[in-house]
Amino acid sequence: MSGWCMLLYKEVLRFWKVSFQTIAAPVLTSVLYMLIFGHVLEDHVKVYDNVPYTAFLLPGLIMMSVLQNAFANSSSSLVQSKIMGNVVFLLLTPLSHWHWFVAYVGSSMLRGLAVGLGVFAVTVWFAPLQYHSPVWILVFAVLCAGLLGALGLVAGLWSEKFDQMAAFQSFVIMPMTFLSGVFYSIHSLPPFWQGLSHLNPFFYMIDGFRYGFFGQSDVSPWISLAVVSVAMLAVSALAIHWLKSGYKIRG
């Protein structure tokens, strides 16, 4: 087995051994969101014609779970390795920066998608979902999981301790996720906040993913795909550059 495959296996095993915490707990959190918001707002919010609010909510919760867990996997793994000092053992191997990138981002994608499938499997019974374009669903799920895995790698390289990584997650990832239209359509917002929402790349991830289910979206799915693809290339380029230069992992 090649080196990058071993590193990928190690990273997958790292989160799978504590799957109750890394997979089951996020699924439970999403179910609670759905029960609370769905129960309270079902009869008060109408977004798309012939689409109940709970059904509208489910794709947003699935994608939110994918994004948050893909980010958490690569960022926490790298920061933990840096703090414990065992990152030096990886530096001694002949693994290239590409191997690191593929292993860390690949394992993050697997965790994010596993949680997303778990949320889908548990919540799909609560509301009837449509499947307008399964290809769009798959493309956005994979692309967005990869983007947040790469972003987590950037955050892990930048962070030198857990509180820096926690600050990145609390002040960047969480606000951008919750303000991306998971629980609402941006058309329900005042014009100023609608314009601000269009500057949030997470909005395009949620909106494009939701289009795959209902065939309706706040912006064209092609625009969402373009924004997410450009963001993926930019974040991946930064992560690969930092890995190649040994940013904050080589003395």
pLDDT average, residue stretch 68-91: 90
- At residue 40, does pLDDT exceed 80? no
Q: With both helix axes pointing from N to C terminus, report the angle between 134-158 and 53-84 in degrees, rounded to the nearest 10.
A: 30
pLDDT average, residue stretch 170-180: 89
Is the distance from CB of 81 to CB of 157 less than 8 angstroms? no
Neighbours of 206 (CB within 10 A): 28
Is the distance from CB of 178 to CB of 153 less than 8 angstroms? no
DSSP-based three-state secondary structure for 93: coil
The whole-chain average pLDDT of the chain stands at 90
φ and ψ of 229, to 5 deg: -65, -45
Domain definitions of the chain by residue range: 3-8+39-245
pLDDT tens, position by position, 154-163: 999 999 888 8
Neighbours of 161 (CB within 10 A): 10
Could you give the C-alpha distances from 26 to 53, 75, 167, 242, 247, in angstroms and in order? 21, 17, 19, 30, 31
Is the distance from CB of 173 to CB of 205 less than 8 angstroms? no
pLDDT tens, position by position, 193-218: 888 888 999 999 999 999 999 998 88
**Residues ≥6 apart with Cβ < 8 Å to 145:** 66, 67, 70, 108, 109, 112, 113, 116
Supply angle C-alpha 174, 202, 213, rounded to 5. 115
DSSP 176-204: HHHTSSSSS-GGGS-HHHHHHHTT-HHHH
